[in-house]
Structure 1
Amino acid sequence: SKYGLPGLAQLRSRESYVLCYDPRSRSALWVIEQLNRDTLSGASDRTACDFQEDDSVHEYHRATNADYRGSGFDRGHLAAAANHKWSQKAMRDTFYLSNIAPQNPHLNQNAWNNLEKYCRSLAKNNRNVYVCTGPLFLPRMEADGKMYVKYQVIGKNNVAVPTHFFKVLILEKESGEIELRSYVMPNSPVDDKIPLERFLVPIESIERASGLLFVPNILRRTSNLKAITAGKQ
């Protein structure tokens, strides 16, 4: 276009992850990170990291710390800080607000935290674990029998509060086998005693809801693929 296009996919490549930013929601569509034994080891200090605006995002479209203040929501990491102890910069990069979404505090500090820990445990026992995390805005039937997508926004920048969150795990095993695990949790208090297996869903359900396709290259290149869904271990 002679005068420039009004918008393009906003990719950000950081030391610890790659994300695709959604300027309308003021958060990421997805964040992908690579975990292995090396990324989990190190002496990075979380207390030396502060949540910060992402200056690479236009000021019209980015969240600020003030948006979260008094909102009742945690600043929930998509790429988790504890996944990147290998480098202080890598850990610090996870504190950009473009890698953050409004998350129910009980979820963030309990069941979701358990899922993040589980991802790290898998990384210790596999060659690599690729973790793709993002928000979902799922429809719900209202009293009139019609389906609506409704979600809260917070702060003067109208940061969208997801109805749910997903994580898609791609495990590269030492044997060469590739395994998929995909999870969805509601953005509400979740009993952390519920087994994580209860949140397993077919990857197709996340793809349909999010508009994303997670493993097209894998499906073209290999038949050595095992998908773990609810009830299959």
Structure 2
Amino acid sequence: MKQKLSAILLTLSLNASNYAHYEPSKMAQKFFNNCDVVLDKFYYQNCYDYSKKSSLAVAYKLDKNMLEAGHIKNRPKFEPDYKLAKKYRTDWNDYLHSGYDRGHILSNQSMNATTDAQRSTFLMSNIAPQTPELNRNVWLKAEKRERQVALAKGWAEVINLIEFDENNKRYIKNGIRVPNYFVKIILSDNFQECFRMPNIEMFENDKLKTYRVDCGEFNG
């Protein structure tokens, strides 16, 4: 009971220190039209799909000052998101022996200047099945890229999209749908950069630039 209460308080917490409440741009808002629920986590917003037990989009803003403010090194435990009904919720052990990593959609490293911000990224609603080859390589490089842009520009808005192929459905325990692609859109002043990465086990090329795509397809 205490663990559940702790997680509920976490999702409601506004003890954000110097973080500002994230307000999505018009571009980000258009990716939140097909959600079953929009989870406002203060630091980010999460478009969640009940049938897939998966996020469809996670958007947030990175600030140079917060990225430079220091980082909490101790990683917290993964926690269920009690803002979701139990039948739509996922748990850390759903991934055991699945062959997939618990992949952060919003990176812990991008949001760990305070304890609350870091813990919010370990909610299971911010986690999706990623192959180890993606999670520990190309996706990791994309996460580093968003921080690089924010540090250089002063800020960056990031929109992560999770895409599913209806002709190639995969699931792990608890009916969690496995994404087929992950998209990262990075926006700043006079700047747009977009990447689409397949959720596969073998990459012929692990250079991030190989997966850069035209942002125009997301601007319509």
Do Structure 1 and Structure 2 share a fold, with TM-score over 0.5?
A: yes
Q: Equivalent of 1:69, from 82, 89, 96?
A: 96
SS at match of 2:156: strand
Match of 1:18 in 2: 45
Structure 1 pair 120–64 and aligned structure 2 pair: CA distance change class (3 A) = same
Deviation of the 1:171 alpha carbon:
1.4
Is 1:96 matched up with 2:123?
A: yes
Q: What CA distance in whole angstroms lies between the structure 2 residues aligned with 1:164 and 1:73?
A: 14
CA distance in 2, matches of 1:185, 1:124: 23
Q: CA deviation at 1:204?
A: 4.4
List aligned pairs for 1:121-200, cutoff 5 A: 121-138=148-165, 149-155=167-173, 157-172=174-189, 178-189=190-201, 191=203, 194-200=206-212
Structure 1 residues 183 and 190 mapped into 2: Cα distance closer, same or farther (>3 Å)? farther
CA distance in 1, matches of 2:157, 2:212: 17
State the match for 1:203 in structure 2: 215
8 Å CA contact 2:35–2:47 kept in 1: the answer is: no
Question: How far is 1:190 from its partner?
Answer: 5.2
State the match for 1:220 in structure 2. none
> Does structure 2 conserve the Cα–Cα contact (< 8 Å) formed by 1:36 and 1:126?
no
Q: Deviations over 1:79-108 (max 9, x none)?
A: 100001221100110001111100001210
TM-score, structure 1 length as denominator? 0.74
Deviations 1:130-175 (A, max 9, x none): 011121113xxxxxxxxx52221111x2101011100111112xxx
Q: How far apart in 2 are the matches of 1:165 and 1:18?
A: 17
Question: SS state of the match for residue 200, structure 2?
Answer: coil
Structure 2 unpaired stretches of 5+: 1-33
**What does 1:44-123 align with in structure 2 at a 5 Å threshold?**
44-123=71-150
Query: Secondary structure at 1:150's aligned position in 2?
Result: coil
Amino acid at match of 2:192: L
Confirm or deny: 8 A CA contact 1:83 1:120 kept in the other structure.
yes
| TM-score after normalising by structure 2 | 0.78
Question: Is the helix fraction higher in 1 or 2?
Answer: 2
**5+ residue gaps in structure 1?**
1-6, 139-147, 173-177, 208-214, 217-233
1:48 Cα shift?
4.0
**Do the aligned residues in 1 keep the contact of 2:72 with 2:113 (CA within 8 Å)?**
no
Q: 1:123, CA displacement in angstroms?
A: 0.8
1:205-220 equivalences under 5 Å are: 205=217, 207=218
* Larger Rg, first or second structure (1 or 2): 1
RMSD value over aligned CA atoms? 2.1
Helix, strand or coil: the match of 2:143? helix
Identity %: 28
